[in-house]
Chain A
Amino acid sequence: MFDSQKKISPRDVLLLACIMGGVILLFHHLAQELNYNWDWSVIPGYIARFDSGSGNWRAGLLTQGLLVTLRLSLWSILLGLLAGTVMGMWRLSPRPLLRMISSSYVGLVRNIPPLVLIFIFYFFLGDQIMQVTGITELSYSLDDNSSPILTTLFGPVEQLPAFLSGVLTMALFEGAYITEIVRAGIESIDNEQWEASAALGFNRRNQLIHIILPQAFSRSLPPLAGQFISTIKDSSIVSVISIQELTFAGQELMSATYRTFEIWTLVIVMYFILTFPCSIAVRELEKRMNSHKDSHH
């Protein structure tokens, strides 16, 4: 339908020029109107800085925040995927109890604003879980340099309880969305697949594991990848419970230096660097899956 080789028409050029002009005008207006002394000289130090004491380069404060965001997103999506798959399967289970558990999970989590959920979890539940599992105690006994693996996976030891309670909260509400994605994926599988696998002598469990879920997952991969991107963005919300991810690190620097706009700009760029490759990956994934479809039909 669309010709990808189509030439750029004068109208496109005009439109582009108008947009560019508008953007330039906006920035000019901002620079003129905003009573703000711009100072970009501090910014590179927030990305990376040279430590004269040890003679090494170290991650700047915002890069450290970025790493926390990355860890937070990865763990949340993994746990969320786990919760979502189990709950998604339960939603279609023949057992009413499992169906009830999973639909109340989705109903409850999806209808509470994430911000409220985070506060409830942080102040009432998170701490108890961390105490019972002994993670709080562990974080006091360990030194920051004592276990590099732990630090690589979860960040600084002293932030461990807060970090984990943030991960759990994120996983909880990402899991609710993933549940629906998984359910839609399973429901999209034709009934014949169930019947055929039943005819082969599989029980329901094996039907799911060997026949239905692999197909459902390949179909729901694009929305799942989309959910991953949105997890990265959502992770900024846990800054309200003082988890030291990118947004929190940025806000902390702002209150120390009052370099509001420079820091917000850098934070935006960093989020973009994190999410844009994911978006490209999703597009590629969809393309590949469509071509696979084309070859079949």
Chain B
Amino acid sequence: MNLLRTVCVSIVTAILIMSLASVGMANDTRQELSKDSTLEKVLKRKALRVGFSTFKPWAMKGKNGEFIGFEIDVAKRLASAMGVKIRFIPTKWDGIIPALLTGKFDIIIGGMGITPERNLKVNFSDPYEFSGMSIVANKNVATGKLTRADYNNAKTGGAARLAALEDFNNPKIRVSVRLGTTAEKAAKNFLPKATIVKFNDEAASIQELLNGNAACLVASHPLPETLVEKYPGKLYLPLKSDFTQEPIGFAVRKGDPDFLNFLNNWIRVCNSEGWLEARYNYWFKTNQWKSQVE
């Protein structure tokens, strides 16, 4: 009887100790996880390092040498919500994900569209903005009937224009896009038959369109509108509205639930205040900021 009680008590004690130990160990892992979080590191360092690529009007270098743009506003507010300084690290678009993964910065705030492919490499926050793809076309070569030489001879103005997405899905049509962007993806998906020419930077892809070597350019809103405003004689918008709607999120390194939780709730708060929409309207729907750039 006594022996049985001793055995029982010792088994119970052993179980208790083991479970306590395991709780303790779980606590340890949790603590380590949160200590390893980018959030903690940023707070400790007192500086949030933000990676982005120059992309009008998401983020640009203003005349005064300061960065301005929608994403810059977002990043500044995010840093002030965390109570830390901000460090902007402008990075080339095609190397931006490797740079995040190797720890050059803590977060990408650069109008990055959420795609499953990118999501395999990085974690995305909830979308804080939506961006759409649209097409801007060259008036004179978009028809596909006129060659460049025809145009030079005739300078035809009233030629029939392409006005539907399907019209551009033709091997004769050369579509200019920026490499590694969601525009490249959208062009491939929506215009599978067209010839797609890729450029490393935005300016080159635009020049290809202006020169008439490409019939159209696929890019995210509001670049096509801006271009048509600038070159009304040469370019036009074939589609009335964007043909895609893609979510834009913050990209962070994988395995960091704390940081993601913070970002998602920050987005929720800013959305409920209407702040994000107000900033979006300012940068994407007005021209008030133009004087700061040119």
Contacts and interface: CB of A to CB of B under 8 A. Distances in A.
Interface of A: 34-37, 42, 45, 49, 51, 58, 61, 64, 119, 123-124, 127, 140, 158, 162, 239-242, 244, 248, 251-258, 260
The 6 closest A-B pairs by CB, nearest first: A256-B60, A35-B210, A255-B54, A254-B203, A242-B91, A260-B203
B294 A140 contact: no
Contacts of A240: 92, 95
B90 A244 contact: yes
Contact of B47 (A119, A140, A239): A140
A162 B99 CA distance: 12
B194 interface: no
B201 A251 contact: yes
A140 B54 CA distance: 23
B90 A252 contact: yes
B65 A242 contact: no
A124 B55 CA distance: 27
A124 B104 CA distance: 11
B211 A140 contact: no
A247 to B, nearest CB: 11
Contacts of B240: none
Interface size class of B (residues with CB under 8 A): 35 or more
B206 interface: yes
Given A36-B210, A255-B203, A61 B293 contact: no
Given A252-B54, A256-B60, A35 B234 contact: yes
Nearest to A124: B102
Interface in B181-227: 201-204, 206-207, 210-212
16 contacts: A35-B212, A37-B230, A61-B61, A61-B65, A123-B102, A140-B46, A240-B92, A240-B95, A242-B91, A242-B92, A252-B90, A254-B201, A254-B203, A256-B56, A256-B61, A258-B202
A45 B230 contact: no
Contacts of B55: 255
B67 to A, nearest CB: 10
B46 A242 contact: no
A64 B65 contact: yes
Nearest to A261: B207
Contacts of A257: 293-294
B100 to A, nearest CB: 11
Contacts of B23: none
B54 A242 contact: no
Contacts of B87: 140, 158
Interface string B44-68: 0111000001111000110111000
Given A119-B95, A123-B99, A254-B203, 19 more contacts: A34-B211, A35-B210, A36-B210, A42-B294, A61-B65, A64-B65, A123-B98, A140-B47, A248-B90, A251-B203, A252-B61, A255-B56, A255-B201, A255-B202, A256-B54, A257-B293, A258-B203, A258-B206, A258-B230
A109 to B, nearest CB: 22
Nearest to B104: A127
Contact of A256 (B85, B204, B210, B293): B293
B211 A242 contact: no
A145 to B, nearest CB: 14
A253 B99 contact: no
A51 B201 contact: no
B147 to A, nearest CB: 15
